[in-house]
Amino acid sequence: MRNKLAIIFVGRGFFKGLGILFLKVFARLKRPFGLVDLVLNRYMIRELSARLKSLNADLIIANDLRALPLAVASKGRSRILYDAHEYSPGQQPESRQGKHRNAWASYQLQKYLPSCDRMTTVCDGIADEYVKSYSIARPDVIVNAVPYQDLVPVDRSDGKILLVHHGSSVPLRKIEESIKAMRFLDGRFELHFYLVQTDLFYHKHLVNISKDDNRIFFHEPVPLSMISATLNHYDIGIAMFPPVTVNLKYVLPNKFFEFIQARLGVAIGPSAEMESFVKKYDLGVTARDFTAEAMAEKLTALSLSDVIGYKKSAHFHALELSAGTVMNRFKEIVKELL
């Protein structure tokens, strides 16, 4: 008999209108925002668990924490694979609201993790955090690799070193430090951005502090499928994320693997998870801290031959560090559970 598989993914837009209403109500009452999730999760579970149970699936894959309560409520004789992505109780900074959200995530994990048969997450540091905090078997690590791109490194003959950063305009990521680093760099360097304006005020701030430097450029963001091909025309992907949350402490983002597929070298802050890849595969440079001065120090020391070497390393390891290769492990886990 064919195995039945159910995959639960709850997007951020799920019950969006209802969520906005609850947010407004609880904001007026000055109650923890975890109550919003509580109400939405109970509504969602009541409406969907019966439908999911009727599938009589052999395996349920819960994609991130919002899907986990529904998976557990619908388990029956099914097995559950919890794809945790990052460390949910370390998503927010230690603000009042952030503490409420982190505490709510921790409560859910304490309640639902015992019902899971297997668990995956995105890096070793976060896997270790889950073991330490919840006394569970160590999750399998499936990194945020992206699909293989059939590209080659672009050779530059103009003596320029083109830096690039893409992603969301999020204040926690301190993108302004990359901009400040340009003050300490010579005329060889340009800095290019492809940013989604997640926080419009912050995005305008980034543009404003860059306006007096004609070596800094802001481009329109491109679709996910075009990111690596677009970045391929640059030289060094730059990513500095100060560890202001647990997840940023262990950051190993998809943009790191998009740099590799674009055949770029990388320049990062001392983020342990990224640094381990940089050292193992000779992909680029790591600054001593997360300041503009430290990053500029590393970049200034680069020669064109260094840059070419890092781009060649990315090209050599692109297939090994692609989603196709990484996801073979995920397929093995599914087969083991079935």
- Rg of the chain over Cα atoms, rounded to whole angstroms, equals 22
For residue range 213-255, list pLDDT tens digits in order.
999 999 999 999 999 999 999 999 999 999 999 999 999 999 9
| Annotated domain spans of the chain | 5-144+326-337, 161-317
Contact indicator for 113, 134 with CB cutoff of 8 Å = yes
Which range, of 15-29, 53-67, 287-301, 312-326, averages the lowest pLDDT? 15-29
CATH class, domain 5-144+326-337, is alpha beta
- Helical H segments across 15-88, by residue range: 16-29, 34-53, 68-73
Residue 7 has pLDDT above 80, yes or no: no
Please tell me the distance from the alpha carbon of residue 198 to that of residue 200, in angstroms, as a whole number. Answer: 6
| Closest C-alpha among 188, 234, 183, 189 to residue 212 | 183
* pTM of the predicted protein model: 0.86
| Closest C-alpha among 298, 314, 304 to residue 177 | 298
Residue 16 has pLDDT above 60, yes or no: no
Contact indicator for 81, 29 with CB cutoff of 8 Å = no
Architecture of domain 161-317: 3-Layer(aba) Sandwich (3.40)
Q: Which residue has the higher pLDDT, 37 or 83?
A: 83
Q: What count of other Cβ atoms lies within 10 Å of the Cβ of residue 109?
A: 22
User: In CATH terms, are 5-144+326-337 and 161-317 the same topology?
Assistant: yes
